[in-house]
Amino acid sequence: MTDWTEPGAFEVAPGVHRIPLPLPMDGLRAVNVYAIDTGDGLTLIDGGWAIEESRTLLESSLASIDRKVSDITRFLVTHVHRDHYTQAVTVRREFGSHVSLGIGDKATLDLIHATDVDEDPHVEMLRLAGASDIAEEWGRFTADSTPDLSVWGYPDTWLEGDHELAVGARTLDAVSTPGHTQGHFVFADRAQGLLFAGDHVLPTITPSIGFEPVLADQPLGDFLASLAKVRALPDLALLPAHGAVTASSHARVDELVAFHDVRLDLCREVISANPGTSYDVAAQVPWTRHERKLADLDVFNAALATLETRAHLELLVARGEMTRTLVDGLHVYALA
């Protein structure tokens, strides 16, 4: 079986090719962008990361199907993360391609462009969550990082609410699916039975929840509600941003819901024994398919784990099952 990250342009349906682009220094290894032939050009679902390796491979992959980067007339970007958004902006600058992005991600772009931000917002989130060592290391890591605004331009169009989009002769359902980010969208081609799922539904991993510079009130609640919306669509072939194409969107949605049910149960068990912070809870539950301990994760993944645990605890607070109290500068959770 071919590794899904192997370079090329792979036809997944008539007129639709999957093009994996590289993510060096990223555990995800690659991001799938999907090229849709519209008859008078290409529409790409997601754009890739604006780095030389990605651009070179995009060019060669398109050449293998007798197309060029200049043929890209439009990008429908599922969400604002760099591996999905930034290359779309650079291609637009060269060729005038139209870029669309969910309105919920505007707050993140506004923050990237802000000139009065002294500290990465994740630092304070981690402090409140009880992860002081991770917060300190994260602060050092981000202290001198200045975003390249040339790859973080605003989109041409903000996507708002659920609506239909004409893509050549196709009609795609643009479905708002906040959770992984507040502005996440998926695109459903009901006629061909395809779901361009971005990072909302991934075939072998669970998308991170609760790790945004501008946090939603209930990121996990948003994500579960968005999963329910996708489950209400017909059962479609799953075309994810990371991983191989699989046959059933319904099957994977059901697995993701079950996964978060288990994580919520684990949070209840830990807090029922002792009130504590998100970091305290994260340290007592397993992580990754290998069931690793929080202490064994690198700083980036430990931060993800801590804030994802926070998202689970906050949902239990919203459901009335737990309380959150500020104690000595930390958010402490207890059973209601």
State which H helix or E strand residue 326 sits in. Answer: strand 322-327
What is the average pLDDT score of the chain? 96
Angle subtended at Cα 112 by Cα 107 and Cα 114, rounded to the nearest 5 degrees? 90
- Please check whether residues 182 and 277 belong to one and the same domain: no
Domain of residue 301 covers 134-141+257-335
Q: Are residues 234 and 273 in the same domain?
A: no
Q: Would the pLDDT of 202 be above 70?
A: yes
Q: 170 and 83 share a domain?
A: yes
Q: Write the DSSP symbol of residue 8.
A: S
Is residue 25 in a domain?
Answer: yes
Query: If DSSP codes are grouped into helix, strand and coil, which group holds residue 269?
Result: helix
In whole angstroms, what is the distance from residue 302 CA to residue 103 CA?
29
Q: Angle, nearest 10°, between helix axes 249-273 and 219-232?
A: 150
Band (165; pLDDT cuts 50, 70, 90) = very high
Q: Is residue 170 part of a domain?
A: yes
26, 156: one domain: yes
Same domain, 36 and 93: yes
Please give the helix or strand (H or E) that residue 16 lies within, else none.
Answer: strand 16-22
| Co-location of 94 and 181 in the same domain | yes
* CATH assignment of the domain containing 316: 1.10.10
The number of domains in the chain is 2
Say how far apart CA 336 and CA 319 lie, in whole Å: 10
Within a domain: residue 2? no
- Which of 214, 249, 284 is the C-terminal boundary of a domain? 249
- Domain co-membership, 163 together with 228: yes
- Does pLDDT of 290 surpass 90? no
- Whether 141 shows a pLDDT value over 70: the answer reads yes
- Residues 109 and 21 reside in one and the same domain: yes
121 lies in a domain?
no
Domain contains 127: no
**Same domain, residue pair 189 and 287:** no
Residue ending a domain, among 209, 233, 249, is 249
Same domain (yes/no): 217, 284: no
Instruction: Kindly state the average pLDDT of the residues 41-54.
Output: 98
The reply to whether 17 and 66 lie within a common domain is yes
CA 189, CA 236: separation in Å to the nearest integer? Answer: 9
Asked if 237 and 331 sit in the same domain, the reply is no
Structural tokens at position 86: 């930034």
Region 9-14: mean pLDDT is 98
Tell me whether residue 208 is in a domain.
Answer: yes
Task: Report residue 36's pLDDT band, with 50, 70 and 90 as the boundaries.
Answer: very high
